[in-house]
Amino acid sequence: MKNGRIAVPSNGQGGLNGTRAGHFGHCDVFTFVDVEDGEIKKVSILQNQEHAQGGCMVPVNLLSENRVNALIVGGIGMRPLMGFRQVGIDVYHDDQRPEIEPVVKDLIAGKLAEISNDQVCGGGGGQV
Amino acid sequence: MTHVLLVSQKKNNFSELETAFSENNVTTEWTDTAQNALSKLSEENFDLFITHEHLSDMTGRKLIENVLFKNAMMNCVVLSALDHKAFHEAYEGLGVLMQFPLVPGKEQAQNLLDHLNHIARISNRTSKPKGEPI
């Protein structure tokens, strides 16, 4: 990624030295990393909104309004994933490293994969 | 005005719900199959759809997946006999607003309207990032 804004759902106060929240919808804050010419130029924090059952589009709209281009998650449901794709936010996946900085640097370096449809949370297990 | 699509093989299941909706400025249309629902949702403007968990041509879950692949902003509710835990596992990640009993009534209508208003209030809160030195 050469230019753009990366968002990472984060625990506590967030920040580049913080840790990624396991469930993006329930995170405390979003850490924003602005990238210019492949370099980190600015880090900022956005308070997450209250989470409501079925309110998956609240964070989608929140990040879209704040001009986010890419999101890094450890897990995400199918509906918010589709929502992010439909508003033009690319969703990347890393559920192994909770530290924000190395994962962000991997994304900038083109070493992080986009999440695939079969990596989403849930799935029903064929019950319905 | 809220416009809702009702999807179930039995229209009568929605009688009490429709009465409660009509008293709250909510209009409804009914259809019996998932394919008809997909057509209506692509041709008309609905705010949400309420589907039975079992339809004649696909499951309610499959219908929801098909809808969100086209329009993830579309809200949905499911009529289901599953217990709370089984419902959560079956529909996790699909962003279902709430589970209704197989024959929903006035209480469910009011709960849904309250919940939609709650989400609207959250959505309307503006939020901007606070700058932080690297």
Provide CB contacts within 8 A for A61, sequence distance 6+.
A87, B123
This complex has an ipTM of: 0.83
> For residue A95, what are its two tokens?
């559920």
Residues B88-134: tens digit of each pLDDT? 999 988 999 999 999 999 999 999 999 998 888 887 765 666 654 43
> Which domains are present in chain B?
2-124 (3.40.50.2300)
**Predicted TM-score of the model (pTM):** 0.87
CB-side neighbour CA atoms (13 Å) of B11: 7
User: Across the interface, which of A16, A44, A52 has its CB nearest the CB of B118?
Assistant: A52
The DSSP bridge pattern shows strands B2-7 and B48-52 to be parallel
Q: What is the pLDDT of residues A21-41, one digit of tens each?
A: 987 778 999 999 999 999 999
B97 to A53: CB separation less than 8 angstroms, yes or no: yes
Q: Do A54 and B96 touch (CB under 8 A)?
A: yes
B47 pLDDT more than 60 = yes
What's the confidence (pLDDT) of residue B127?
Answer: 61
In Å, how far is B108's CA from the nearest CA of chain A?
A: 15
Instruction: Locate the DSSP E strands across B1-134.
Output: 2-7, 26-31, 48-52, 75-79, 98-100, 130-132
Q: Tokens standing for A16?
A: 């580049």
pLDDT digits 0-9 by tens, A41-92: 999 999 988 777 777 788 998 999 999 999 999 989 999 999 999 999 999 9
Task: Give the number of other CB atoms < 10 A from CB of residue A77.
Answer: 22
Q: Does any CB of chain A come closer than 8 Å to the CB of residue B24?
A: no
**Which among A45, A61, A78 has the least Cβ separation from residue B93?**
A78
Any B CB within 8 A of A59 CB: no
DSSP track, A21-84: -SSGGG-SEEEEEEEETTEEEEEEEEEPPPP-TT-THHHHHHHHHTT--EEEES--BHHHHHHH
Contact residues on chain B for A122, CB-CB shorter than 8 A: 89, 91-94
